[in-house]
Structure 1
Amino acid sequence: MNIQLTPGFTVDNFTNPYIIAEIGSNHNGDMDLARKIIDAAVKTGVHAVKFQSWTPQSLIAKEEYKANTVYTDDPKKHWGSLREMVEEYYLREEQHAELNEYCKSKGVDFCSTPFSEEEADLLMELDVPFFKVASMDINNLRLLRYLGNTGKPVILSTGMATMGEIEQAILTVEETGNKNIVLLHCVSVYPPEMETINLRNITTLQQAFGYPVGFSDHTIGSAIPLASIALGACLIEKHFTIDKDLPGWDHMISADPDEMKVITSESENIVTSLGSTRRVISEAEKEKMPKMRRSIVTSRSLKKGEIIQANDILFKRPGTGIAPDQESIVVGRKVIRNIDQDVVLRWDDFE
C-alpha cells in the first residue's frame, strides 16, 4: 500500500526509505545547538529532522516528578531533578516556529511527535507533513482519534505493544476515515540487546496489517537500520546528535553524522540490490560467461579416428567451446582430425 507521506515522497515496503534524524530533545533547550544539529543532519542526506512536542504539564504527572528529584546513576545522561531537565529541554511554542522556518530554509522536512491535543494543534498550524506517535501512546486512543481526524498521515511506533494493541491503534485511526498509516517496528530500550531486536517483526507487521512498515531504531551504529531496509523497511527513524558526549537523555545512543551518512548513502543501494525474486542473469554476467566458464579440452593428444573416452578430456577456461555439461554427448564420439593436448574441443572436431 502506497502512503503519500509528504508532497514529494511516497512510502511502501521495499522502496527507498524515508529517513528521519530524530533530534528529539538533543537540542538540550539550546536553539543554537538545535540549528547546528539540523545543519549536520542536512549534510548527511536525511529527508526530515524530528523533534518532540511536550511541556512539563502534558507529559509527566506530579507523582513522577516527586519520585525523581535527584539523579545519581549517570550524571552525563541526567542532571538535577526530572522537573529541572524537563523545564530546560522542552520546546516552547515560538521555538517550534523558529525551527520549522529554519528547516524550510535548509530544504529538510520539519516534523515532531505531539504528546497532547494542544501540541497537535500547534503542529497543525505549522503544517507538518505527518504526525509521529510515540510508542508510549500506542494505547492512547483519544490522542490517536484526534490525530486521525486531522487527515494527515499517522506514523505509529509499536515499542512495548502487543499485536492486539497495535491492531486496536490501527482500527482507532481507521475509524476516523484516515488510512494513511505507517507502522514502525520498535524496541523501547536504549540501547536494546541484539537478541531482543527481532527485525523479522517487520515482516510480521507487513503481513498482519497490510500497511508500510519502517523501523524506529535505538541501537548503536548503522548496521541494524541498514539490515531493516533489506527486510523492506520503508522508513528509518534514528536518534541523531553531533556529539555523543553531550549531557542529556539520548546523545549516547544517537547516531553521529558519520553513522547517519552511512545509513542515507547505503539505503538506496540496498533497495536497488534487492532487485527481483525472479531468477535473472544480467547482461554483464552473460558477457562474463565466455571468460569465466569452462570448456571441454583434451587431456592428451588425439589421432584422427580415435573414440573419445572420459579420461581423454578435462574442463578448463575459457568457456568458448563445448560446455562441461555436454560431456555425455562428447564421450564415445570419433574425432575427424589429429588434435594436440590441451586444446579446446569444438563440435566440428567430431564425425
Structure 2
Amino acid sequence: MKTIQLQGQQLGTNSPPLIVAEMSGNHNQSLNRALEIVEAAAKCGVHALKLQTYTADTMTLDLDKGEFFISDPKSLWSGHSLYELYQQAYTPWEWHEPIFKRCQELDIIGFSTPFDETAVDFLESLDVPCYKIASFENTDLPLIRKVASTGKPLIISMGMASIAALDETVRTAREAGCQDLILLKCTSTYPASPENTNLMTIPHLRELFDVQVGLSDHTLGIGAAVASVALGATFIEKHFTLSRADGGVDAAFSMEPYEMKQLVEETERAWQALGQISYGATAAEQKSLVFRRSLYVAENIKAGEILTPQNIRRIRPGYGLAPKYYDLVLGKTAKQDLAKGTPLSWDVLL
C-alpha cells in the first residue's frame, strides 16, 4: 500500500495513525477561541487541524420553510433553517490565514474542507497541503474534479455512499489527477452510535480501491477510533472543542482536550500492538521462559528409588524436563541420590 506524505507526516501502515482535530464551528464565532483550539489541539499531540470553508450562501438558499428548515425534534439543530445554521457555524474566510499560520508555528498540518469551487480557489491561494471532501459532498463530482485537479492529496468521507456511488467518486478523482487518495469510513449521524459504525468496512474499502483508509468518527469517546486502528485505519478525524459546556453547533459530539490527548496516545499504542504475525517466545519473552512449569524432585530420592507422583511434580520454574515427559519418567529409577528441589534431567535416570 502506497505511503502518502502530508506536509512531512507519513500516512501509512508503517506509521502511527494520523490524528486530525476537526474545528468545524466550535470557534463560536471568535477568532481568539479558534486560535486557542489550535493551540489546545497541538498540545494534545494531534498531527493536523481541519477547518470547513464555506459561507451560508455557498451552502444553501436563504429560506426558512419546507426542506430548508430543520423541524425534526431529534436533530441537534431542530428549529433552525439551514441558512441560519451555516451562518452560525461557518469560519470567516479572513480567519483561515491566521489559523493556518498558527498551525504552522505549532508544527501541525492545517487544511480544510471546501464546499464549492470558490472555496477551492481561496484555499489554493493559501497553498493548503491537502483537501477533504465531506460525506454530504461525496457525490458532487464537479467539486471532486476541481479539488483533484490541484494534484494534492485528497481525503473523502464515504458517509451514505453505496459501493457504486463510491466507485464513481473514486474514478472521477483519479481521472482528474488525484494520485494520493484516502477514503474515510463515516457514519453521517450526529452523534453516531457504535452499532451503526460498521468498522469492518475499513479493510473492505482498502481491498476494493487499493487506497489508504481511515475513520471520520462521530461516536462519543475513543473506543471506535482505537478499534479502527486494528482494522487498518491510518487516518482518524474527530471533532474537537475546548469544552462541550461552551456550546456550539458541533459541541455535543466533539472531544475535549483530555479526550483528544487520550485518543492520540491510545491509537498509537494500538498501532504499536499490531506488530506482525508471531508465534513462540519473542526476544522480550526469553527471560520469562524460566517461569514455565517443569519436572522437579518434590521429596528426597535415594539412588535406585522409583520415581512416583509423590516424589516428582510439575511445578515452576522451568529448569527441569518439560511437563510433557511426566508420564514417561514415572516408574523410572534414580541413578543417584536426588535432593528435594533438584530439576529433573535425563542424565540422573536409569
> Is the TM value for this pair above 0.5?
yes
Matched, 1:334 2:336: no
Distance 1:301 1:101, change over 3 A: closer
The equivalent of 1:153 in structure 2 is: 153
Query: Percent identity between the aligned chains?
Result: 34
Asked if the contact 1:14/1:231 (under 8 Å) is kept, the reply is: no
| 1:219-298 mapped onto 2 (5 Å cutoff) | 219-290=219-290, 292-298=291-297
Q: Which residue of 2 aligns with 1:141?
A: 141
Helix, strand or coil at the partner of 1:245: helix
Cα shift at 1:227: 1.3
Which stretch shows the higher mean deviation, 319-328 or 220-229? 319-328
Structure 2 match to 1:193: 193
Are the counterparts in 1 of residues 61 and 68 from structure 2 also a CA contact under 8 Å? no
Query: 2:103, 2:78 → 1: CA distance?
Result: 28
The amino acid of 1:302's aligned partner reads: I
Q: Structure 2: which 5+ residue stretches go unaligned?
A: none
How far the C-alpha of 1:78 sits from its partner, in A, is 6.7
Q: Identify the residue that residue 184 of structure 2 maps to in structure 1.
A: 184
Note if contact 1:78-1:247 (Cα within 8 Å) is conserved in structure 2: no
The 2-side partners of 1:102 and 1:299 are apart by: 70
Aligned residue runs from structure 1 range 1-351, under 5 A: 1-13=1-13, 15-63=15-63, 73=73, 81-290=81-290, 292-309=291-308, 312-341=311-340, 343-351=342-350
Change (3 A) 1:347 1:280: closer
The alpha carbon displacement at 1:67 in A equals 5.1
Q: Could you say if the C-alpha distance between residues 64 and 9 of structure 1 is closer, same or farther in structure 2, counting changes exceeding 3 Å?
A: farther
- Check 1:224–1:282 CA distance in 2 against 1; reply closer, same or farther (3 A cut): same
Work out the CA distance in 1 between the residues paired with 2:153 and 2:198.
26
Q: State the distance in 2 between where 1:139 and 1:68 align.
A: 20
Deviations 1:94-140 (A, max 9, x none): 22122222222222211110000110111111111111000011111
Measure how far apart 1:72 and its partner are: 9.5
Please give the alpha-carbon distance, in whole angstroms, between the structure 2 residues aligned to 1:234 and 1:123.
Answer: 25
1:308 Cα deviation from its structure 2 partner:
3.0
Output one character per residue of 1:45-100: Cα deviation in whole Å (capped at 9) or x when no partner: 11111110011111113456665568795998678654334224322332212222
Deviations 1:188-247 (A, max 9, x none): 011122211111111111121111100000011122111111211100100000010223
Instruction: Answer whether contact 1:53 1:90 (CA < 8 A) is retained.
Output: yes
Which amino acid in 2 is paired with 1:315?
Answer: R
* 2:24–2:239 CA contact under 8 A, matched in 1: yes
Letter of the 1:333 counterpart = K
Q: How many residue pairs align between the two structures? A: 350
Q: Distance in 1 between matches of 2:83 and 2:65?
A: 6
SS in 2 for 1:50: strand
Once the two structures are overlaid, the 10-residue window that deviates more, 315-324 or 329-338, is 329-338
Task: Tell me how far 1:264 sits from its aligned partner.
Answer: 0.9
Does the 8 A contact of 1:2 with 1:10 survive in 2? no
> Structure 1 stretch 47-56 or stretch 79-88: which is displaced more?
79-88
Partner letter of residue 194 of structure 1?
P
SS at match of 1:100: helix
Q: 1:80 to 1:273 in 2, by over 3 A?
A: closer
Secondary structure at the counterpart of residue 184 of structure 2: strand
